[in-house]
Amino acid sequence: MKIKSLYIISMVIMATVSGRAQAPLDIDREFAFAAQQYEGMLRAHPDTTKFPQSTNPDGSPRDMKSDWWCSGFFGGSLWYLFERTGDPKWKEAAHRWTMAVAKEQTNTTTHDLGFMLYCPFGNGYRLTKNPAYPPILLTGAQSLATRFNPNVGLIKSWEKFQTYTYPVIIDNMMNLEFLFWAAKTSGDKRLRDICLTHADNTLKNHYRPDGSSFHVICYNPDGTVAAKKTAQGAADGSAWARGQAWGLYGYTVMYRETKAKKYLEQARKIAGFYLNHPNLPADKIPYWDFNAPGIPNEERDASAGAIAASALLELSTYGGPEANTYRQAATQMLQSLSGPAYKAKPGGNNHFILAHSVGAKPMKSEVDVPLVYADYYYLEALLRYEALQKKKG
Ligand code: GLY
Average pLDDT of each block of 10 consecutive residues along the chain (393 residues)? 45 45 88 98 98 98 98 99 98 98 98 98 98 98 98 98 98 98 98 98 98 98 98 98 99 98 98 98 98 98 99 98 98 98 98 98 98 99 97 80
Asked if 232 and 362 touch (Cβ cutoff 8 Å), the reply is: yes
Strand residue runs (E) in 94-166: 148-149, 154-155
Please tell me the distance between residue 17's alpha carbon and the centre of ligand 1 in angstroms.
33
Q: What is the pLDDT of residue 346?
A: 98
User: Hey, which of 171, 213, 289, 303 would you mutate to test ligand 1's pocket, going by the most ligand atoms within 8 Å of its Cβ?
Assistant: 171
Burial class (CB in 10 A: 0-12, 13-18, 19+), 20: middle
**CB-ligand 1 contact for 366 (6 Å cutoff):** no
Q: What is the pLDDT of residue 88?
A: 98
Residues 43 and 46: their CA atoms lie apart, in Å, by 6
Pick the residue whose CA is nearest to atom 2 on ligand 1: 171
Q: Which residues, 6 or more positions from 40, have their beta carbon under 8 angstroms from its beta carbon?
A: 347, 351
Report the candidate in 160, 246, 162 with the shortest Cα–Cα distance to residue 202: 246
107 domain-assigned: no
Catalytic residues: 112, 171
**CB-ligand 1 contact for 242 (6 Å cutoff):** yes
**CB-ligand 1 contact for 361 (6 Å cutoff):** no
79 domain-assigned: no
Please tell me the distance between residue 343's alpha carbon and the centre of ligand 1 in angstroms.
21
CA of 303, closest atom in ligand 1: 4
Q: What is the pLDDT of residue 7?
A: 44
267 domain-assigned: no
User: Hey, which of 170, 246, 357, 377 would you mutate to test ligand 1's pocket, going by the most ligand atoms within 8 Å of its Cβ?
Assistant: 246
Pick the residue whose CA is nearest to atom 1 on ligand 1: 171
Asked if 303 and 374 touch (Cβ cutoff 8 Å), the reply is: yes
197 domain-assigned: yes
Please tell me the distance between residue 70's alpha carbon and the centre of ligand 1 in angstroms.
9
Amino acid symbol at 386: E
Q: What angle do CA 132, 138, 141 make, to 5 degrees?
A: 140
Tell me the pTM. 0.95
199 domain-assigned: yes
Q: What is the pLDDT of residue 21?
A: 60
Please tell me the distance between residue 332's alpha carbon and the centre of ligand 1 in angstroms.
24
Number of neighbouring beta carbons within 10 Å of residue 236: 13
Asked if 51 and 365 touch (Cβ cutoff 8 Å), the reply is: no
Q: What is the pLDDT of residue 13?
A: 43
CA of 243, closest atom in ligand 1: 4
User: Hey, which of 68, 116, 173, 232 would you mutate to test ligand 1's pocket, going by the most ligand atoms within 8 Å of its Cβ?
Assistant: 232
Q: Helices 261-276 & 302-315, crossing angle to 10 degrees? A: 140
CA of 360, closest atom in ligand 1: 5
Please tell me the distance between residue 251's alpha carbon and the centre of ligand 1 in angstroms.
17
CA of 242, closest atom in ligand 1: 4
316 domain-assigned: no
Q: What angle do CA 87, 37, 103 make, to 5 degrees?
A: 70
Phi-psi region of 24 (alpha: psi -120 to 50; beta: other; left: phi over 0): beta
Residues 71 and 49: their CA atoms lie apart, in Å, by 10
Please tell me the distance between residue 368's alpha carbon and the centre of ligand 1 in angstroms.
15
Burial class (CB in 10 A: 0-12, 13-18, 19+), 389: middle
Please tell me the distance between residue 272's alpha carbon and the centre of ligand 1 in angstroms.
22
Q: What domain count does the chain have?
A: 1
Please tell me the distance between residue 232's alpha carbon and the centre of ligand 1 in angstroms.
8
307 domain-assigned: no
Distances in Å between the Cα of 348 and the Cα atoms of 41, 93, 340, 355 are 10, 21, 13, 10
Domain extent, residue 224, equals 148-229
388 domain-assigned: no
User: Hey, which of 53, 64, 68, 69 would you mutate to test ligand 1's pocket, going by the most ligand atoms within 8 Å of its Cβ?
Assistant: 69
Q: Which residues pair with 64 in a beta bridge?
A: 51
Q: What are phi and psi of 179, to 5 degrees?
A: -70, -35
CA of 169, closest atom in ligand 1: 1
CA of 174, closest atom in ligand 1: 1
